[in-house]
A = this chain, B = another copy of it.
Amino acid sequence: MNVLAVGCHPDDLEIGCGGTLAKLAAKGHRVTMVHVANGDKGHKQIVPDELKAIRRLEAKAAGNLIGAEVISLDVPDLAVKSDQDELVGKLVQVIRKVRPDYIITHPPEDYMKDHMEVSRAVFDASFAATVPHYQPTDGEEAHTKVAPIYYMDTLAGVGFLPTEYVDISDYIETKIQMNDCHQSQIKWLYEHDGIDFLDFVRTVSKFRGLQCGKPYAEGFKQCEAWPRLTTERLLP
């Protein structure tokens, strides 16, 4: 299987579906991790230009842990706009290159705008990528299927009722390590939001595990829009 995961900030995929991606990779599937925003404003002291370089490396390191390709679309924080052709165009290129069997991204409602915009842009791009005459750029042909989309959990699971669960019990430590790569954020999240990042991630995974009877799990919801509905389980 060929799985494309698109998160907003460089650490969002690790938080929301790191275990699932680790599991996919371990089972031999191809995993591509995209972060749309470069995370340049996720710190109090470090200035944006410096920070975005640091975070790109952190994201690469996290991806490397599971052998995933990591792509940055390099949009500045708080400037993610699904209504602009530029972002959708970038995502279309990624989709046409990766040619995913399915996509994982943020749900349409989450705790801050950039996350929600990524969700919308991915939804739009996954359709546009299949239209031959939309940005018929050099080399990459239109994707042959409108890829099904799975929405990962919101931050702290607020307002989110999963309909599918992935057992990540064998991958929880890998997930924690992936999150641990984001050292700049461990400090920021503590200062900005008062949370202990790694403990936060572990607790949510444990809670989702309680819900489905596993030590650790991640929850998802399928995007219910035609022609993305399926008759087989795609998640691992």
Contacts and interface: CB of A to CB of B under 8 A. Distances in A.
A161 B224 contact: yes
B47 A224 contact: no
Given A113-B123, A231-B165, A231-B167, A48 B210 contact: no
A111 B225 contact: yes
Interface in A59-114: 77-79, 81, 83, 85, 109-113
Interface size class of A (residues with CB under 8 A): 35 or more
A204 interface: yes
Given A161-B224, A204-B210, A231-B166, A127 B156 contact: no
B159 A225 contact: yes
A31 to B, nearest CB: 19
A57 interface: no
A43 to B, nearest CB: 7
Contacts of A79: 85
A-B residue pairs, 4 tightest by C-beta: A233-B233, A207-B207, A167-B231, A41-B133
13 contacts: A41-B131, A109-B225, A110-B225, A112-B127, A113-B128, A155-B226, A156-B210, A157-B207, A159-B224, A161-B224, A166-B231, A193-B227, A203-B203
